[in-house]
Structure 1
Amino acid sequence: MTAPKTLARIAGFLYLIVAVLTSFAGLVNTRIVESGDAAATTGNIDTSATLFRIGLVSELVGAVAFLVTGMALYLLLKHVNQMVAAAMVAFVAVSVAMQSLNLLNQHAALTIATGQGYTAAFGPKGSGQLTLLFAAMQHDGYLIAQTYFGLWLLPLGYLVVKSGYFPKVLGVLLMIGCFGHLVDVFARLLAPDFGANISPFAMTPAAVAELSFIAWLLVKAVRVPEPGTRVPVIAHSGPLGRLGQGGEVDRG
């Protein structure tokens, strides 16, 4: 049986990897893809093909790390409420599946932008529009997957509050972060201009909550009960508990 402190630190390390790799991938896409400008996007991808590939691989590795993070957090927090912990892992699994499959759109944009055959078949303008189309589909697919990036924070926050391993305020912030993600997603889908304007405000609570959680997992791990108090026990650790992206003991 793995000690709670060890599980928490593993989860924190993996969660940090997720944050770094997905942020890097997002910065790469932001720098290379010019919204609404097919020629510029195609030219940027063609001249920065290696960087674009690295961004794609970074996001894929980050998705795998997210899945394992969820498993670790499941092992850490399932003793609080196994059904809630299972729901947390289910949201992670759905988000990872969508995010990974969505990378096909990014790879298609890369293939068209760097392949001479598409220019010959569709002409420079036609191949450029196809490149932009797939790049836009990758962006929108990630936005849809973000729904589940947000939803997993709700059960995680509950488990954190109930576990006793962490300050309750961390759990509350994580749950608030869930709704920030959802507001961001639906605002940008229903009213793109308005959604883009409020996105930084909607996403700030989630960013603060997740970064604080990562820091707590890495530095403090879990609270150690005072001598003579009851120590939480991690129940039957089933197959591969996901290292939840926020070492919360409540992931049941």
Structure 2
Amino acid sequence: MHIHPDPLRHARLAGALYLTIIICGVGSELALRGPLIDAASAEHTMQALHAQSLRFRLSILADVVMALADAALALLLFRMFRSVSADLALAALVFRLLQSGLIAAGLLNLQAALIVGSADLSLHYLALHAYGYDLGLIFFAVNCFLTAQLITRSGFVPRILGLGIGLSGLVYLAGSGLRIVAPELHGLMAPAYVVPLVAETAFCLWLLVKPGGARRRAAA
């Protein structure tokens, strides 16, 4: 008799990785790095980076941890959803890994911003990192659309979470698109990023606390 593997057996590990991604991603940008950057003043930014270089380096380290956790999460979500649709799960895996790779590669721009001797160049490298991050989020938006379909079809994850992840993809796609074609309007998207924060946190918490009940329902 063929026994199908339990799709939720690694759900709590996936939830722990997702929580790591959220904490490191939000913490590195908002708590550690963001307050040091003054887009209107290259000199003030460079002074802040050198005065608090350890804080800035910790923000880079947090992003490295985030990228590693994201790659591991991509593999676990593939294993979770491959029984729903192997093709969709594989596509979601590929697009999430592309996002992780692009964001990780973009961290070189942060390192360059710290070591160059020119304030203007430092600000340019910080801007390149922001553009690279949003480029990665375009691939993540596609991953969100695919993951939303997998959640909706699965029967063991609440469909409302699929809706939230799908809306998150729209926010990421719109925000990244604006960064590329109309960067002066990108700031208008800031309030919309509450949607992916809430949706991804909800999915993360479900992975951490709910898979036991979902496993019983799936078995039934």
Instruction: With the length of structure 2 as denominator, give the TM-score of the two structures.
Output: 0.91
Instruction: Please tell me the residue identity of whatever aligns with 2:186.
Output: G
State the partner residue of 2:16: 13
Is 1:187 the counterpart of 2:178? The answer is yes
**Structure 1 CA distance for aligned equivalents of residues 129 and 163 of structure 2:** 32
Q: Structure 1 residues 44-53 or 31-40, which shifts more?
A: 31-40
The answer to whether the 8 Å contact 1:36/1:132 transfers is: no
Instruction: With the length of structure 1 as denominator, give the TM-score of the two structures.
Output: 0.80
Is 1:174 the counterpart of 2:165? The answer is yes
**Structure 1 CA distance for aligned equivalents of residues 171 and 13 of structure 2:** 26
Matches within 5 A, 1:48-197: 48-112=52-116, 118=117, 127-197=118-188
- Aligned-pair distance for 1:204? 2.7
**Structure 2 CA distance for aligned equivalents of residues 182 and 110 of structure 1:** 29
- Aligned-pair distance for 1:192? 2.5
The answer to whether the 8 Å contact 1:67/1:96 transfers is: yes
Is 1:35 the counterpart of 2:26? The answer is no
**Structure 1 CA distance for aligned equivalents of residues 7 and 150 of structure 2:** 14
The answer to whether the 8 Å contact 1:74/1:89 transfers is: yes
Match of 1:26 among 22, 25, 29: 29
- Alignment length, in residue pairs? 215
The answer to whether the 8 Å contact 1:77/1:163 transfers is: yes
Secondary structure at 1:166's aligned position in 2? coil
The answer for unaligned runs of 5 or more in structure 1 is: 113-117, 119-126, 233-252
State the partner residue of 2:195: 205
Is 1:47 the counterpart of 2:35? The answer is no
The answer to whether the 8 Å contact 1:184/1:195 transfers is: yes
Runs of 4+ in 1 over 4 A off after TM superposition: none
**Structure 1 CA distance for aligned equivalents of residues 107 and 131 of structure 2:** 11
- Aligned-pair distance for 1:76? 1.0
Match of 2:211 among 213, 221, 235: 221
**Structure 1 CA distance for aligned equivalents of residues 189 and 100 of structure 2:** 26
- Percent same amino acid among aligned pairs? 25
The answer to whether the 8 Å contact 2:7/2:83 transfers is: no
Structure with bigger gyration radius = 1
**Structure 1 CA distance for aligned equivalents of residues 5 and 39 of structure 2:** 47
Instruction: Please tell me the residue identity of whatever aligns with 1:141.
Output: G
- Aligned-pair distance for 1:151? 1.7
- Aligned-pair distance for 1:78? 0.4
**Structure 2 CA distance for aligned equivalents of residues 73 and 52 of structure 1:** 31
Secondary structure at 1:35's aligned position in 2? coil
**Structure 1 CA distance for aligned equivalents of residues 131 and 178 of structure 2:** 13
- Aligned-pair distance for 1:205? 2.4
- Aligned-pair distance for 1:231? 2.9
The answer to whether the 8 Å contact 1:25/1:58 transfers is: yes
